[in-house]
Amino acid sequence: MPAKDSRSDARIDEAEQELLALSIEAQQADWVYNTYLTRDTEALSSRANARLIERTVALAKEITATPPPSDAIRARKANLLRVSLPLVAPSAAGGPERLATLVARMQGIYAKGTYAPKGTSTPVDLQALSRILSENRRPDVLEDVWTGWHAVGRSMRSDFTEYVRLANSGARELGFADTGALWRSRYDMPEDTLAREVERLWSEVEPLYRSLHAYVRRRLRERYGASIVPDHGPIPIHLLGNMWAQSWEALAADVAPPGSTPAYDLTEILRRRGTEPVDMVRFAERFFVSMGLDPLPASFWERSMFVRPPGREVVCHASAWDLDYVADLRIKMCIEITAEDFRTLHHELGHNYYQRAYAGQPFLFRDSAHDGFHEAIGDTIGLSVTPEYLVRVGLLAEVPPVENDLGLLLATALEKIAFLPFGLVVDQWRWRVFSGEISPEEYNRTWWEMRERYQGVRPPTPRDETEFDPGAKFHVPASVPYMRYFLAHILQFQFHRALARTIGAAGPLHRVSIYGDRRAGERLGAMLAMGSSRDWRDALETLTGERAMSAAGLLEYFRPLQRWLDEQNRGEELGW
């Protein structure tokens, strides 16, 4: 092993400050691009990100080639620097600029995507198309809208192929086999160990998903008939109320327990009260404040984008930002007055409060324990958006009776459990693309093979290689790793169960809310403040007392629903 050298310590310290400045510059350029989509802002964003990528790669290579640092803290920083970028450009002349341009262009194609549904002449954006999918029940309309949006990927295909080649070249320069291996190496474990962990977690939750799938398939068959929805086999994807079938919550009323009535309609409640977008954000902020955390800074309210600005193109996909990595917290979102956006805002502010909590760490530690933690925090808060919570904040007059729990649990499962296999597939597919196991000539075929294998869904019409359906999901053209969302859907229930125990909550897990409990805030805050300064197992233990990710909390949360689904599916063939 090379001797330790104090010069390595100094170089890491210098690199950290240089990368902080470049990261702020890239964040600012990205913010302008995302909130003001033009050719010029795209170019500015591309150049800023190219500079960041180029210097990060150069510094990672330099530090990797030098003797190890003299202390464990700097050694961890060196490793985090090496795996910090989800996208690494090759060092050849023009490589960083070309890769940044490809990603910006694909992201711009996605953001500007529109389609005019049959019988109309005006193209509408993804939000409007998604509303049709969630609200309409005519199969021909749903098929038209689904197919119309998915055409957005066609013109990305060649860019994506080049992006894979360049990204892999850059990853290999850092010593990784490919970009997928780089992504899997960010979890404080060998990259093949992560793949096994993911499959282990999926095996724990797959039986519950298959039970939910069988029940929903039967209820859809009752609505549409066996000619559209088979007795056994995958569900036609356009009937599930979401463009990617990553959530089935739009079907909650359609597949509710027979004879049940909705306990409440949060969307209707919010709209009836005249709730404005900023009011939605205030509800979410008050949740965190109720646990003893500080209100958001005034700059958050001045600089965030809460609604689509008139007269210009923007990226409406909800996201949380910390532009200076200290206190310039913002969200970017085209808020609609819906129950879904109410929960989304709790999620996005979870990112902001995590960002604020670890702002006191050195720059290379200003991140979550692993990326699944960042996604899980806001969703953990979302699990506390219970009827009891809604009563306490004045949105409900009284807590619905216990008989309504099955309907609420089913609605939650349509969002959370339905997501799990999709959360798995997006990166499982990309890992195989990056490794070369999937060639460009079979992008679409393998995408749908994996969607059917894990999700049990199929497209409404045959899809061939003239299409590029993965490009119809934001995270693919934007080069955002997706496994974090699968892990977050496991972790949020593990976190929720631990916090419920912290406050000594009695009763079933799905009725617990940590709103207003400072004990929960202290426990949560202690973990958030660690950032990525320690192995993620240490952070997990700080919050939960456990050192392994586990689906036990999820299974406990949905145990009453699993028993009910078993009864409903008696005589029904599970699987596809």
Query: Pick the catalytic residue: 42, 173, 348, 467?
Result: 348
Query: Pick the catalytic residue: 115, 163, 353, 485?
Result: 485
Place of tokens 């200003």: 366
Are the C-beta atoms of 68 and 2 separated by less than 8 Å?
Answer: yes
> CB within 8 A of 509, min separation 6: which ones?
496, 497, 500, 553, 556, 557
Q: Confirm whether 340 is a catalytic residue.
A: no
Tell me the β-bridge partners of 124: 115
DSSP annotation of 2? P
Using CA atoms in the order 407, 411, 416, 420, what is the torsion angle rounded to 10 degrees? Answer: 90
Nearest to 183 by CA among 95, 96, 84, 89: 84
Structure tokens at 241: 């109320």
Are the C-beta atoms of 109 and 116 separated by less than 8 Å?
Answer: no
Query: Pick the catalytic residue: 58, 206, 264, 475?
Result: 475
Are the C-beta atoms of 270 and 340 separated by less than 8 Å?
Answer: no
Nearest to 358 by CA among 377, 345, 386, 340: 377
Q: Confirm whether 346 is a catalytic residue.
A: no
Q: Confirm whether 351 is a catalytic residue.
A: yes
Query: Pick the catalytic residue: 336, 375, 415, 467?
Result: 375
Are the C-beta atoms of 208 and 560 separated by less than 8 Å?
Answer: no
The pTM assigned to this predicted structure is: 0.91
Query: Pick the catalytic residue: 43, 75, 318, 478?
Result: 318
Query: Pick the catalytic residue: 150, 213, 238, 317?
Result: 317
| Phi, psi at 321, each rounded to 5° | -130, 150
Are the C-beta atoms of 348 and 378 separated by less than 8 Å?
Answer: yes
Degrees, nearest 5: CA angle 488-492-496: 170
Mean pLDDT by 10 residues, the chain (576 residues): 65 95 97 95 92 89 85 93 88 89 94 95 95 96 98 96 96 93 94 93 98 97 96 96 96 89 88 98 98 98 97 92 97 95 95 97 97 94 94 94 86 96 98 98 98 98 97 96 96 98 94 97 97 98 97 97 96 91
Q: Confirm whether 489 is a catalytic residue.
A: no
Q: How many CA atoms lie within 13 A of 49 on its CB side?
A: 28
Query: Pick the catalytic residue: 238, 346, 351, 370?
Result: 351
Q: Confirm whether 317 is a catalytic residue.
A: yes
Q: What is the pLDDT at residue 1?
A: 47
Structure tokens at 458: 């199929």
Q: Confirm whether 187 is a catalytic residue.
A: no
Query: Pick the catalytic residue: 213, 347, 496, 510?
Result: 347
Place of tokens 């053209």: 477
Helix (H, G, I), strand (E, B) or coil at 115: strand
Are the C-beta atoms of 198 and 216 separated by less than 8 Å?
Answer: no
